[in-house]
Chains A and B, each alone.
Chain A
Amino acid sequence: EVQLVESGGGVVRPGGSLRLSCAASGFTFAHYGMSWVRQVPGKGPEWVSGINWNGISTTYADSVKGRFSISRDDAKNSLYLQMDSLRAEDTAFYYCARLMEGYSGSAVDYWGQGTLVTVSS
């Protein structure tokens, strides 16, 4: 059974940093592109960042470019999101998501349960 379990969310002050982690199991992690998607309750999801299967290609939403960094450790079956210079508008649930087919154009076929990030003074 595919499982994606996020951790690392919490409350942080504006300008602060957080590192989210996603532990993957139930599939060959190294074979899949992965993404982070965030969602404010009551709003549509917002794609944040993605990384292809071998980690060579990474892309970011304009809203987080230069502040967030995605990475993966295939030996640990883990995905990460380093979030720096956090702003109030970054407050949301953050989901770890597996890309179904390759990278660009793909659907997300599995989602974690999400971890809440709250940026507030």
Chain B
Amino acid sequence: SYTLTQPLSVSVALGQTARITCGGDNIGSKFVHWYRQRPGQAPVLVIYRDTNRPSGIPERFSGSNSGNTATLTISGAQVGDEADYFCQAWDSGTAAVFGGGTKLTVL
């Protein structure tokens, strides 16, 4: 089965740029989606189809996907961005797969 690998944690200084990676075999050939989850809440979609932002998500959030790595980039990180972030793709078109999640800390 297909596996998505994320770092357990990423730290970023306030106002700097955070990058969260999601590794998978030839992930660049798949669409990758990203979710933010705050404690006690359901996940929220922040990037879909690699690079697209849903309405209501700030332009500070962007995504890229190539080769074996997809990346979520958060520019000008704010305290409110602290959360767990998950990547998601589809395995053989029949089952969705999620990464294990990355805890973002804003220092």
Contacts and interface: CB of A to CB of B under 8 A. Distances in A.
Interface in B64-107: 86, 88, 90, 93-101
B24 interface: no
A107 B45 contact: yes
A11 interface: no
B43 interface: yes
Given A44-B86, A45-B86, A100-B48, A114 B42 contact: yes
A113 interface: yes
A67 to B, nearest CB: 16
Contacts of A109: 45, 48, 54
By DSSP majority rule, is chain A's interface helix, strand, loop, or mixed? loop
A107 B99 contact: no
Interface of A: 35, 37, 43-47, 50, 59-62, 95, 100, 104-109, 111-114
25 contacts: A37-B98, A44-B99, A44-B101, A45-B86, A45-B88, A45-B98, A46-B98, A47-B96, A47-B97, A47-B98, A59-B94, A61-B95, A95-B42, A95-B43, A104-B90, A104-B93, A105-B31, A105-B93, A106-B90, A108-B33, A108-B43, A108-B88, A109-B48, A111-B42, A111-B44
